[in-house]
Amino acid sequence: MDIIHDNDADLSVMNGKTVAVIGYGAQGRAQALCMRDSGLNVIIGVRPGKSFDAATQEGFQVMSVAEAADKADVIHILLPDENHGAVYENEIKPHLKPGKTLCCSHGFAYVFNTIVPPADVDVIMVAPKGPGTEVRRVFEEGFGCPGLIAVHQNPSGNARNVALAMAKAEGLTRGGVLECTLAQETYEDLFGEQNVLCGGMVDLMKYGFETLIEAGYPAEMAYFECVHEAKLIVDLIYAGGIQRMNEVISNTAEFGEYYNGPQILTPDVKERMKESLKRIESGKFAKDWLEEAAKGAPNLKAKREELGQHPVEIVGAKIRSLFERK
Ligand code: NDP
Ligand code: MG
Ligand code: MG
């Protein structure tokens, strides 16, 4: 896959264009601030409330979603995925015109058809591969978070140039950008967060922590070992790969990794990951999540509540408070 860099993108494509960032949450705030710093004309569309106030405070022109969609050439929807459909139908669709561009940072709405865009608008994706806080932090350091772009509809013929320019304005082309399809991004993103990064890692930490405390080890020690130190290990892998991490840890730890790791995460885990990928690609996961969200997300809320009572969270809060610089 080719990696796209700064030289491949031209910011002047955005001259005279207005970008409406819809939503001012984790991604909306970070991406809007970066694009504004790069000289793009950015306005914010969001409902009244905390985000509206924050965007106003940070000097943006803030208005209703409908008004922003009406004024903008590029409508960059950064709402929670489960809300895209309803907000699009009621507040965005009436303001679409040929030549306008719809943009997203995750293809969920288009791949699972909660948004079905008219054929005469461009549809693109500009997706940082990182949380909003990271996008902004790395940009402020003068570099960029890596990212993905996709062109989903291109009646104007200019969609790719606009996606590249927005990626450049957010610093992503400094970090390196890959071009993919919306379906690829949507499926791999859901797979990664469900099996490795969030689901997967969290379960591994909890099982490790529970095993130690059930065997009578102090919860504080179990937390240090199974949660706190995970960041240190991931940082080493991030910086230099798995082999570099193995060079830094002891030979004992490295031997233990080869000795016990494959006995814990046995090949049948991969079989279940394949089933999970199928549930994502078939639309089953999206259907279940959208149904849950439509009911007000009772199961999600119950799980959140339950996790708050787990000893790993209770002891974790206590341990983390030790690191607060007074
Ligand atoms: P957040 O939940 O952080 O922010 C959502 C924003 O949308 C808030 O400003 C919220 O305002 C606003 N909002 C919610 N509902 C409505 C509504 N009905 N009308 C108007 N405004 C509304 O979302 P994220 O930034 O996490 O996610 C945005 C998109 O970015 C998603 O598509 C996600 O998949 C994608 N993405 C997210 C990443 C991440 O790390 N978070 C990484 C890459 C992509 P209020 O304060 O009023 O609730
Ligand atoms: Mg995601
Ligand atoms: Mg150790």
Q: Is 285 in the pocket of ligand 1 (CB under 6 A)?
A: no
Please tell me the number of Cα atoms within 13 Å of 250 on its side-chain side: 3
- pLDDT over 90 for what percent of the chain? 98
Q: In which region does residue 10 sit, left (phi positive, over 0), alpha (psi from -120 to 50) or beta (all else)?
A: beta
* 106 CB within 6 A, ligand 1: yes
Six-digit token string for 273 = 């990951």
pLDDT tens figures, 23-66: 999 999 999 999 999 999 999 999 999 999 999 999 999 999 99
184 burial type by CB count under 10 A (0-12 exposed, 13-18 middle, 19+ buried): middle
- List of residues 6+ apart from 187 with CB closer than 8 A: 111, 277, 280, 281
Summarised one tens digit per residue, pLDDT across range 207-225 is: 999 999 999 999 999 999 9
Tell which one of 77, 90, 105, 125 to mutate to probe ligand 1, the residue whose CB is within 8 A of the most ligand atoms. 105
Q: Is 106 an annotated catalytic residue?
A: yes
User: Could you tell which of 29, 51, 52, 111 is best to mutate to test the pocket of ligand 1, judged by most ligand atoms within 8 Å of the CB?
Assistant: 51
CATH number of 6-180: 3.40.50.720
Instruction: Reply yes or no on whether the pLDDT at 325 is more than 80.
Output: no
Q: Which residues are annotated as a binding site for Mg(2+)?
A: 189, 193, 225, 229
Question: What pLDDT score was predicted for residue 190?
Answer: 98
| ipTM of the complex as predicted | 0.97
Residue type, 103: C
What integer pLDDT is reported at residue 230 of this predicted model?
96
Residues of the chain with CATH 3.40.50.720: 6-180
Mean pLDDT of 80-84: 97
User: For the residues 224-249, what does the mean pLDDT come to?
Assistant: 97
Averaged pLDDT, 126-133: 96
Judging by beta carbons within 10 Å of its beta carbon (0-12, 13-18, 19+), is residue 49 exposed, middle or buried? Answer: exposed
pLDDT in tens, 181-201: 999 999 999 999 999 999 999
Reported as a single tens digit per residue, the pLDDT across 254-269 is 999 999 999 999 999 9
Burial class (CB in 10 A: 0-12, 13-18, 19+), 157: exposed
Query: Looking at residue 323, what is its pLDDT?
Result: 82
Which candidate, 203, 233, 313, places its Cα nearest to that of 211? 203
Place of tokens 């002047």: 12
Strands 74-77 and 62-63: unpaired
Provide the pLDDT confidence category of residue 324 given band limits of 50, 70 and 90. confident
Nearest residue by C-alpha to atom 28 in ligand 1: 78
Residues whose CB is less than 8 angstroms from the CB of residue 172 and which lie 6 or more positions away in sequence, other chains included: 126, 128, 144, 145, 146, 147
CA of 299 to the centre of ligand 1 (A): 20
Question: In 3-state terms, what secondary structure has residue 16?
Answer: coil
Q: Exposed, middle or buried by CB within 10 Å (0-12, 13-18, 19+), for 300?
A: middle
User: Out of 76, 84, 106, 152, which one is annotated catalytic?
Assistant: 106
Ligand 1 pocket check for 296: Cβ under 6 Å = no
pLDDT for 206: 98
Ligand 3 geometric centre to CA of 252 (Å): 10
Give the confidence band of 87 by pLDDT, cuts at 50, 70, 90.
Answer: very high
Check pLDDT > 90 for residue 139: yes
Which strand (E) or helix (H) includes residue 205?
Answer: helix 201-214
pLDDT of residue 312: 97
Spatial neighbors of 36 by CB under 8 A, at least 6 apart, are 42, 60
Tell me the helix, strand and coil percentages in the chain, rounded to 5.
Answer: 60, 10, 25
Nearest ligand 1 atom, CA 87? 18
Inform me whether the pLDDT recorded for 326 exceeds 70: no
CA of 21 to the centre of ligand 2 (A): 18
Please work out whether the CB of residue 219 comes within 6 Å of at least one atom of ligand 1: no
Distances in Å between the Cα of 6 and the Cα atoms of 15, 103, 231 are: 17, 20, 31
What's the chain's average pLDDT?
97
